[in-house]
Chains A and B, each alone.
Chain A
């Protein structure tokens, strides 16, 4: 089906074996590479799905979103890709600054995100560019 082809291509391109480091690095590189890629409708239902063998590790598609330019983008890209994809963050609603402050602080306080004290405020500033809204 012609419709599916881009999806396969993109999946192949996006397939990367991740490790903590590789993920952070590829995310940083992918920001620019994937900018303005075409968006795809989901393919039709009847595309066959292969069941991968369970005794050989498979690669998971890696699909970080495009990150808008803005102050402290780099700090964000380094600190917020360690434990999960920025896709989770880009999919969040637009939140006011206070809410983003709470979320970033939760990452540090609850999950042990290794941020320098100043980084919290910087990253919140970037999050306001990315997914912010007035109070």
Chain B
């Protein structure tokens, strides 16, 4: 059944009147039933609210309590996403809105010989490392899953790229001195469930991953303290991995001699383990989500933009993956029939957004389906058809953006 009214509208800024008009036009013209008009279908009947949260620009509200806020598309024109526009995603409604650094401590305990209790100053006295890394919600783009799935209805704006500065987790774990047979490390933040029956948001990493040098306990984001809504005073940074592991307002690190069996590892954020699944044939085996898959986006021009005939159009966008690094980006102006190489921009490291640019002179008037696809250093690329899963996770289909040459 067609549901023309409720997909996230993340790219264009429309007034209610424009939307109503579009809705009418779409209805009369009968569009909405063919794949090409995807962007028009996405326009919601009610323009979703944009709100300014403390320390943030106006962002699309996926949820106001607990706050889930989407980055407006234009901020992806920059390689580093500004802190004040960086997406926000909390699970449980008791989130920290103030932290008293005189009493705040980061605790490292469990299977260690020397449990630690560190203040922010203690952390800042340790050797600092910086890394540029993409932080992308597992459910980024969930709003475009077909058939639709429940959960936060994100457009493509649940991702951001920042330079994170802090202490390597391995240095903390070495200082705490892991005992033998340590298997997983858990991470808990200051957020709490609204009722005791709601499981606390705790995530776990296998010890070998936790000891990778790029995993940080970060106290700075793009050279500034973390915004409260992005995890002040420190958050876990797990480059290459989906954001579900990047625990915000981290206060407790616990080393376990066994696998962690908490709700948010065992029952949520799961993907089919080896095969694909469909709504009528759900996978029997599921496993916790892990590394990000290859993605690429066109940032400019934006969807439904009108471009003048005969003038070169500057295309630009971004690509990233789970840490192999982007090797090649290609674009198509004919819906994927033919592809050309784009130029890659500055290399900020293999965990970062990689800018790409290209120039295109539209040959004639009409509508064009622009596409972009990336290949990483391991030769992995993006699928031409979306891969469905019940959680609405890890989407990386080749995206199509329609523009009109007039």
Chain B residues whose C-beta falls within 8 Å of the C-beta of A133 in the assembled complex: 1, 3
Which residues in window 62-118 of A have CB below 8 A to B?
62-64, 82-85, 87-88, 91-95, 99, 103, 110-112, 114
A47 is an interface residue with CB less than 8 A from chain B? yes
B181 close to A (CB within 8 Å): no
A85-B193 Cα distance, complex, nearest whole Å: 14
Chain A, Cβ-Cβ closest to B225: A54
Known: A20-B194, A93-B3. A42 touches B13 (CB 8 A): yes
- What are 20 sample pairs from A and B whose C-beta atoms fall under 8 A apart? A7-B51, A14-B51, A20-B194, A41-B14, A42-B13, A42-B58, A45-B75, A55-B101, A58-B97, A61-B51, A63-B51, A63-B61, A84-B93, A85-B64, A87-B49, A87-B62, A91-B48, A91-B63, A112-B198, A134-B1
Which residues of B from 1 to 32 have beta carbons under 8 Å from A? 1, 3, 6, 13-16
Which B residues lie within 8 Å of A7 (CB)? Answer: 50-52, 58
Of the candidate stretches B122-130, B227-235, B302-310, B313-321, the one touching chain A is B227-235
Among A5-29, those with CB < 8 Å from B are: 7-8, 10-11, 14, 18, 20, 23
Chain A interface, >50% SS class: loop
Interface hit among B146-154, B167-175, B368-376: B146-154
Contact indicator B97/A60 (Cβ below 8 Å):
yes
Find chain A residues with CB under 8 A from B100 CB.
Answer: 55
Q: Specify the chain B residue showing the minimal Cβ separation from A82.
A: B194
Q: Are B51 and A11 in contact (CB under 8 A)?
A: yes
Complex contacts, A43 vs chain B, CB 8 Å:
50, 57-58
**Residues from chain B with Cβ under 8 Å of A8 in the complex:** 52
Partner of B99, one of A47, A55, A84, A95: A55
- Known interface pairs A62-B64, A62-B65, A63-B51; 7 further A-B residue pairs with C-beta atoms within 8 A, sorted by A's residue number: A41-B15, A41-B47, A54-B101, A84-B66, A84-B93, A93-B153, A112-B195
B60 contacts chain A at the CB level, 8 A cutoff: yes
Interface string of B193-228 (1 = CB under 8 A from A): 111111100000000000000000000000011011
Minimal beta-carbon separation of B152 from chain A (angstroms): 7
* Interface flag for B341 (CB, 8 Å): no
**For the complex, what is the distance from the CA of A51 to the CA of B152, rounded to whole Å?**
26
Give Cα distance in the complex from A60 to B53, angstroms: 7
Chain B residues, CB < 8 A from A61: 51-53, 64
Are B64's CB and A51's CB within 8 A?
no
Cβ-based interface call for B67 (8 A): yes
Size of interface on A: residues with Cβ below 8 Å to B: 52
- Interface check B364, CB cutoff 8 A: no
Sorted nearest first, the 4 A-B pairs with minimum C-beta distance are A112-B197, A93-B148, A85-B65, A57-B98
A63-B49, A94-B3 given; A52·B64 CB < 8 A? no
B345 at the interface (CB under 8 A from A): no
Distance (whole angstroms) from the CB of A121 to the closest CB of chain B: 19
Q: A23 — which chain B residues lie within 8 A by C-beta? A: 65
Report yes or no: B97 in contact with A39, Cβ–Cβ below 8 A: no
Interface of B is mostly: loop
The count of chain B contact residues (Cβ–Cβ below 8 Å) is 61
Chain A, Cβ-Cβ closest to B194? A83
Which of A41, A91, A93 touches B62 (beta carbons < 8 Å)? A91
| A47 with B63, Cβ < 8 A, contacts A39-B16, A83-B194 known | no
| Residues of A near any B CB (own CB < 8 A) | 4, 7-8, 10-11, 14, 18, 20, 23, 38-43, 45, 47, 49-52, 54-64, 82-85, 87-88, 91-95, 99, 103, 110-112, 114, 131, 133-134
Most buried by B among A39, A54, A58: A54
Residues of A within 8 A of B56 (CB): 49
Which B residues touch A56, using CB under 8 A? 98
What distance in Å separates the Cβ of B10 from its nearest Cβ neighbour in chain A?
A: 10
Judging by beta carbons under 8 Å apart, are B53 and A94 in contact? no
A14 to B65, CA, bound (A): 12
- B245-269: CB near A (< 8 Å → 1, else 0) gives 0000000000000000001000100
Give the complex CA separation of A82 and B46 in angstroms: 25
Cβ–Cβ contact B195 & A82, under 8 A: yes
**With A110-B267, A112-B198 as contacts: A60 and B74 at CB distance below 8 Å:** no
B84 within 8 A of A: yes
Please name the residue on chain B nearest to A46 by beta carbon: B57
Q: In the assembled complex, which residues on chain A have CB atoms less than 8 Å from the CB atom of B224? A: 51
CB pair A49–B84 under 8 Å, yes or no, is yes
Contact B194 A54 (CB under 8 A): no
Contact yes or no, A50 B93, CB < 8 A:
no
Residues on the A chain within 8 Å of B232, using CB: 54
Collect the chain B residues with CB atoms within 8 Å of residue A55's CB: 98-101
- Cα of A70 to Cα of B52 in the assembled complex, Å: 31
Shortest Cβ distance from residue B213 to the other chain A in the assembled complex, whole angstroms = 29
**Distance of A55 Cα from B102 Cα, bound (Å):** 10
The answer to whether the Cβ of B55 comes within 8 Å of any Cβ in the partner chain is yes
